[in-house]
């Protein structure tokens, strides 16, 4: 799926606008099933539309579409949020998720490095990924150790 809104179909762009209107009209938020029903689309299309709206908001410092837990094993609630405090729980969760994924990627790339011949494309890409992710994880650890987080 293209992440550049300029490349999206008119239907896809319209669906993002519909989602914005739907969420804006629900101050207590909606879960992904309510969104799918409200947009009259399948769940996978609703999930993609949520991602699309977040892409649109990606450069906007005034609004975001965080999701917050709604109970054990319950779908998360999406709502428009215009403040850091209102989205902080989601930001904290996402940063933790990103850090866990970085660790997994680092370990997977190390596994490829230990098994693939050095002249292969897989080795060369994995080497670059591993070195970059290792550097990034060290930088993040430094930030955490310095207490900036």
> pLDDT value at position 2?
67
Domain boundary among 18, 52, 78: 78
Do 32 and 97 fall into the same domain?
no
- pLDDT digit string, tens, across residues 95-146: 999 999 999 999 999 999 999 999 999 999 999 999 999 999 999 999 888 8
Same domain for 53 and 99?
no
Identify the domain boundary among 22, 51, 78.
78
Tokens 């906007």 belong to 60
Say what the pLDDT of residue 1 is. Answer: 55
DSSP symbol at 81: B
Give the residue from 73, 71, 54, 74 showing the smallest Cα distance to 63: 54
**112 and 51, same domain (yes or no):** no
Looking at the structure, do residues 23 and 50 belong to the same domain, yes or no?
Answer: yes
The pTM (predicted TM-score) of the whole model is: 0.74
The end-to-end CA distance of the chain, in Å, is: 33
Closest CA to 81 of 24, 145, 11, 19: 24
* Enclosing domain of residue 34: 5-78
User: Using CA atoms, how far apart are residues 147 and 149, in angstroms rounded to an integer?
Assistant: 5
Please indicate, yes or no, whether residues 70 and 89 belong to a single structural domain of this protein: no
Instruction: Say if residue 127 is in the same domain as residue 142.
Output: yes
What pLDDT is attached to residue 132? Answer: 96
């Amino acid at each position: 799926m293209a992440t550049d809104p300029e490349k999206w179909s008119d239907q896809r762009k319209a669906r993002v606008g519909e989602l914005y209107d739907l969420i804006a009209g629900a101050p207590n938020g909606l879960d992904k099933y309510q969104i799918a029903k409200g947009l009259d689309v399948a769940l996978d299309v609703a999930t993609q539309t949520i991602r699309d709206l977040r892409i649109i908001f990606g450069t906007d410092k005034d609004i975001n579409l965080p999701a917050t837990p709604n109970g054990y094993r319950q779908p998360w609630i999406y709502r428009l949020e215009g403040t850091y405090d209102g989205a902080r729980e989601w930001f904290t969760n996402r940063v933790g998720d990103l850090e866990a994924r970085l660790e997994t990627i680092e370990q997977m790339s190390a596994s490829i490095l230990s098994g693939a011949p050095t002249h292969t494309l897989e080795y060369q890409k994995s080497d670059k990924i591993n070195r970059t992710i290792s550097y990034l994880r060290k930088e993040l650890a430094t930030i955490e150790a310095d207490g900036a987080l």
